[in-house]
Amino acid sequence: MSEVKIAATTRTEFGKGAARRIRRENNVPGVLYGHGSDPLHLTFPGHELLLALRTPNVLIALDIDGKSNELAIPKAVQRDPLKGFLEHVDLQLVQRGEKVQVEIPVQTEGELAPGGNLLEHVLSALPVEAEATHIPEGVTVSVEGLAAGASVLAKDITLPKGVTLAVEEDAVVLQVLAAQAEEAPEGAEEEGAQAAEA
């Protein structure tokens, strides 16, 4: 996984008014947590952070005030529900070689067995433990030929080397639901019969 370098500055103003000012300047307020240190309140460049966060569990190399370099991964991202711009981000401090728990996206490939069945993502992201600098971007699961009633468990998914499950092995990740036959609304047959008699 590649690192994305972002310059951040410490901030001393807090509250909604300060956060609004930061966002007006196309920046994003955030907090850096981890390793027993006090939370560090930071300001990030909005566009650069937005691009970096397009990669799930991106590893961010932070240049803080031009003095210290830290590695971090995103833990919580708040976006405007309508416009989608970043409102706030929480980052977790990590170190090279350290194992972290993250959720990685689950993608599927292949076609289900014929019959119009539906594939349900019980877990859209799979909790795993991985080395902080080697977090996979996701896993791909084949659903080729799966019929109604079939399911894919966490233990059935092949993980990259060095990555382990952080969820029960028997947790259902995907399941195939039988296609629902459309039922006529109740009373529709009676109404049709009455119309025919009239």
pLDDT at 2: 65
Contacts for 181 with CB less than 8 Å, ≥ 6 apart = none
Please determine, for residue 190, whether its predicted confidence score (pLDDT) is greater than 80: no
Q: What is the mean pLDDT of residues 115-143?
A: 91
Q: Which pair of structure tokens corresponds to residue 19?
A: 């956060």
> Is 178 strand, coil or helix?
coil
Alpha helices in the chain (DSSP H): 16-24, 46-52, 188-197
Q: Are 9 and 65 in contact (CB under 8 A)?
A: yes
**pTM beyond 0.85:** no
pLDDT in tens, 84-97: 778 889 999 998 88
Give me the chain's average pLDDT, please.
85
* pLDDT reported for residue 186: 52
Distance CA 196, CA 131 (A): 72
pLDDT at site 114: 87
Give the sign of the dihedral formed by CA 50, CA 53, CA 58, CA 64: positive
The 10s digit of each residue's pLDDT in 64-113 is 988 778 899 998 888 888 877 788 899 999 988 889 999 999 999 999 98
**Percentage above 70 pLDDT, the chain:** 90
Please name the residue ranges forming H helices in 25-166.
46-52
Whether residue 101 contacts residue 129, with contact meaning beta carbons closer than 8 Å, is answered with yes
Domains and CATH numbers, the chain: 3-94 (2.40.240.10), 100-177 (2.170.120.20)
Q: Which residues pair with 153 in a beta bridge?
A: 172
Identify any residues that bridge with 92 across adjacent strands, giving them in sequence order: 33, 73
pLDDT at 194 over 60: no
CB 155 within 8 A of CB 165: yes
Q: Cα torsion for 19, 23, 24, 27, to the nearest 10°?
A: 130
Q: How far apart are CA 150 and CA 154, in angstroms?
A: 14
- Asked which of 93-102, 136-145, 183-192 is least confident by mean pLDDT, the reply is 183-192
Over residues 154-161, the mean pLDDT reads: 93
